[in-house]
Amino acid sequence: MKNPEMLFLLLLLFVFISFFIWVHQSKKAALKRFASLSLIGKLTPNANSSRQITRWILFCIFFIFLVIALARPRFGVKMEMVERKGIDIMVALDISQSMLAEDITPNRIDRAKHEISKLIDLLRGDRIGMVVFAGESFLQCPLTLDYGAAKLFLNSVSTGWVELQGTALADAIKQSTSAFNSKSKKHKVMIIISDGEDHQGEALEAAKKASKEGIVIYTVGVGSENGVPIPMSKGNNSIVYKKDKSGNLVMTKLNPVVLEKIALEGNGNYFHAGTNLDLSRIMTEISAMEKRDLGMGKSTTYEERYQIFLFIAILFILLEFLIPERVRSKEEWKGRFE
């Protein structure tokens, strides 16, 4: 199924059935107030309740097959050789505690993960990998064409992974640079998503070295420039915010200057996301870049089979339409009913 969520529409069957039963019972009750059911049957011999029930059943069957068609069932594997072209994209995601700030809904880190997932959905033949960093960095996902696996790695990311806190942008850039396993000095992109609070100050030098390797660096500034507290725990309708050793509330704010300079050194662009993170703008620029020829590869696709279920659905709704509620017949008047 390509759209399995559409199957939830089948729950409407209970609504339809309940409505049909209510209509049937209401009509019966109304006729009883007019005359006895046996007399009504003699007065309206052409009316047939079983035909109404049949039409309702046909409508329900039509709806079932229509929903299955909307879910787009796929079965039957088709193999074909396709020419692969793409670029290598390494996403460096800041997972420091400052990314827990809630100036973006629901918070910086969860929104960033959501947007990266959307970015993966836009890829066509490009390899993607991921580095996560705080006070130190490590490779979370090597470059891969398996987008499903990349999403699994992404979903498991947490701000509690790195014990050494801080924002080591330089280390993240170095780690991302070494993750590119191609000697080519083209077709390589690094996307850094951070609030820009660099605590080491060596990021610009690292960006220069990455640029010499042919890596284009895009930076995305996340968060408010006004400064917000960092929630560390929640419970009993209260929130505990991060404080320094003196007991003062720690505030985190976006530092766009560092990120702008990194993007400039990396021949890329800085995107000011602020509190409205959207990575589709970066994908627009990446799509315009020259693609690297990755050779021929086998592509496995499932055949779409929704047409079968759609045809059956149309067949049943036509049958429902063609069955009349009343039977046409000629009857002679035989006098009073006994």
What are the tokens at 218? 């895009």
Q: What does the pLDDT look like over 178-191, one tens digit per residue? A: 999 777 778 899 99
Domain spans in the chain, listed from the N-terminal domain onward:
4-73+305-322, 81-296
β-pairing, 127-133 with 88-94? parallel
Spatial separation of the C-alpha atoms in residues 201 and 209, rounded to whole Å:
15
Q: How confident is the model at residue 255 (pLDDT cuts 50, 70, 90)?
A: confident
Q: How confident is the model at residue 337 (pLDDT cuts 50, 70, 90)?
A: very low
Reduced to 3 states (helix: H, G, I; strand: E, B; else coil), residue 335 is coil
**DSSP string for 60-90:** HHHHHHHHHHHT--EEEEEEEEEEEEE-EEE
Spatial separation of the C-alpha atoms in residues 201 and 326, rounded to whole Å:
85
Spatial separation of the C-alpha atoms in residues 132 and 169, rounded to whole Å:
10
Return the pLDDT at 305.
85
Higher pLDDT, 134 or 166: 134
Q: What does the pLDDT look like over 11-42, one tens digit per residue? A: 999 999 999 889 878 877 776 666 565 655 55
The mean-pLDDT minimum among 87-101, 193-207, 302-316 falls in 193-207
Cis omega (within 30 of 0) on the bond before 142?
Answer: no
Spatial separation of the C-alpha atoms in residues 99 and 194, rounded to whole Å:
8
Return the pLDDT at 66.
93
- Record the pTM: 0.63
Over range 89-107, report the average pLDDT.
Answer: 90
Structurally, what CATH architecture does the domain formed by 81-296 represent? 3-Layer(aba) Sandwich (3.40)
- State yes or no: pLDDT of 238 exceeds 60: yes
Return the pLDDT at 149.
93
What are the tokens at 101? 């700030």
Spatial separation of the C-alpha atoms in residues 264 and 208, rounded to whole Å:
9
